[in-house]
Structure 1
Amino acid sequence: MAKKVRVLACGAIAKEILAVLEVDRLGHIELECLPAIWHAHPEKIVPGLEKAIAAARAEGIEDIFIGYADCGTGGMLDRLCARENVRRLEGPHCYSFFTGNAAFAERYDDDITAFYLTDFLARQFDAFVIEPLGLDRYPQLRDSYFGHYTKLVYLAQTDDPGLQQRAMAAAERLGLGYEYRFTGYGDLRSELAAAATP
């Protein structure tokens, strides 16, 4: 029987992780999610993970995998991983590992002015973009936040016409061009497979 692995992950990728666990029959991996809104507050990620790692080890779980890329922690997450001897998702953020880190790096120059959405952010655009930036109350701030972007790139994990419509509407609301790219789960799938064999 495979040894239990605890994945401590961002709530914004919970649906995708669960889908991969089901498809690849990784039943010995259990998922624990931290608040998705920390996407907008990366300073909370490392302290939250420190507590979650300590709690997992108090339960006797030693095989822990961090379901975050760097995600704006400025290297603090890597220092935590080194201290705690745990691995994390490779890459700077979820846009990169969903695309595939190598493919994302290759497109970097072409996408320097891109604003990205994932399936989660397409679904939760108001709650995770508009409201935290205050654009629901002060729409005149749109150009202050998005004036240097030229396009919104929807990196789709699933082929969902409803989410495509939401992403197009988000691009229009921000005054940006729209580009759709189906990524599937990118590197997430191989990373979870590697985590499943500690």
Structure 2
Amino acid sequence: MAMVILACGALAREIKAVVAANGWQDVRLECLPAHLHNEPHRIPEAVREKLLQLEVGEQVFVAYADCGTGGRLDGVLAEFGAERLPGAHCYDVFAGEAVIAALAEQAPGTFYLTDFLARHFDRLVLHELGIERHPELAQLYFGQYQRLVYLSQRDDAELQRLAERAAQRLGLAFEKRHTGYGGLETSLVRFVESPVAALSGSEEPEWPQ
């Protein structure tokens, strides 16, 4: 039976790495655009439309956390009996909810980067928030922040350089925490290698009409 991982595009590189490292042959990755995070109210319906395109009998795991949908994504997943990643956002997924809660307690004004966000910081933050054209907006958006914490998935000198530059552009203190793939890998392993998943091929889920 085919297994499908329906993912946020921001996690595509990491998911492909996990799939390759585990040698999974019967797993297909489908991605939605990463820029949906700038309009999280659109994520639930985008996921729903994608799930409706899958064939009945395909087992699917949704590689999104809540991602700012306020529980609405969970409502969509309940229609399909699908499961998602734990936590409120990808920072929880990579670092763990307890670690992110502790970092927030230590310094509420913390801005986070992952490998993906470090790589695309100029486009997703400076350009899309208008800071590139109007530098004074940086203070408006980030004036209450004290530090930038880079949650790294890979030890990559170039990505660290980009993350440090991002902190400098925003006038924030820089800190790095190496997380690896964290809860992303453990969740995917559980989905793909679960005995329940292996036995459920003869049971077709009741897809919404």
Task: Work out the CA distance in 1 between the residues paired with 2:104 and 2:144.
Answer: 16
**What pairs with 1:3-42 in structure 2 (closer than 5 Å)?**
3-42=1-40
Partner secondary structure for residue 107 of structure 1: helix
* Residue 173 (1) aligns with residue 169 (2): yes
Task: Work out the CA distance in 1 between the residues paired with 2:34 and 2:109.
Answer: 24
TM-score, normalisation: structure 1: 0.94
Partner secondary structure for residue 174 of structure 2: strand
Matched to 1:126, the amino acid is D
Task: Work out the CA distance in 2 between the residues paired with 1:42 and 1:129.
Answer: 15
Aligned residue number for residue 52 of structure 2 = 54
Aligned residue number for residue 102 of structure 1 = 98
Matched to 2:17, the amino acid is A
- Quickly say closer, same or farther: Cα 1:160–1:82, change in 2 above 3 A: same
Tell me if structure 1 keeps the 8 A contact 2:104–2:110: no
**What pairs with 1:180-195 in structure 2 (closer than 5 Å)?**
180-195=176-191
Tell me if structure 2 keeps the 8 A contact 1:65–1:87: yes
Q: Work out which of the residue numbers 62, 75, 78 in structure 2 matches 1:79.
A: 75
Tell me if structure 2 keeps the 8 A contact 1:99–1:155: yes
Mind listing any 5+ residue stretches in structure 2 that lack a counterpart? Answer: 198-209
Task: Work out the CA distance in 2 between the residues paired with 1:179 and 1:106.
Answer: 14
Q: Work out which of the residue numbers 65, 69, 72 in structure 1 matches 2:65.
A: 69
Aligned residue number for residue 144 of structure 1 = 140
Tell me if structure 2 keeps the 8 A contact 1:6–1:65: yes
Task: Work out the CA distance in 2 between the residues paired with 1:60 and 1:84.
Answer: 10
CA apart distance, 1:23 = 0.8
Matched to 2:29, the amino acid is L
Task: Work out the CA distance in 1 between the residues paired with 2:127 and 2:188.
Answer: 32
Task: Name the stretch that deviates more: 75-84 or 149-158.
Answer: 75-84
TM-score, normalisation: structure 2: 0.89
Aligned residue number for residue 43 of structure 2 = 45
Alignment size in residue pairs: 194
CA apart distance, 1:71 = 0.3
Partner secondary structure for residue 133 of structure 1: coil
Tell me if structure 2 keeps the 8 A contact 1:6–1:61: no
CA apart distance, 1:84 = 1.5
Partner secondary structure for residue 155 of structure 1: strand
Partner secondary structure for residue 181 of structure 1: strand
CA apart distance, 1:61 = 4.0
Which structure's CA Rg is the greater one? 2
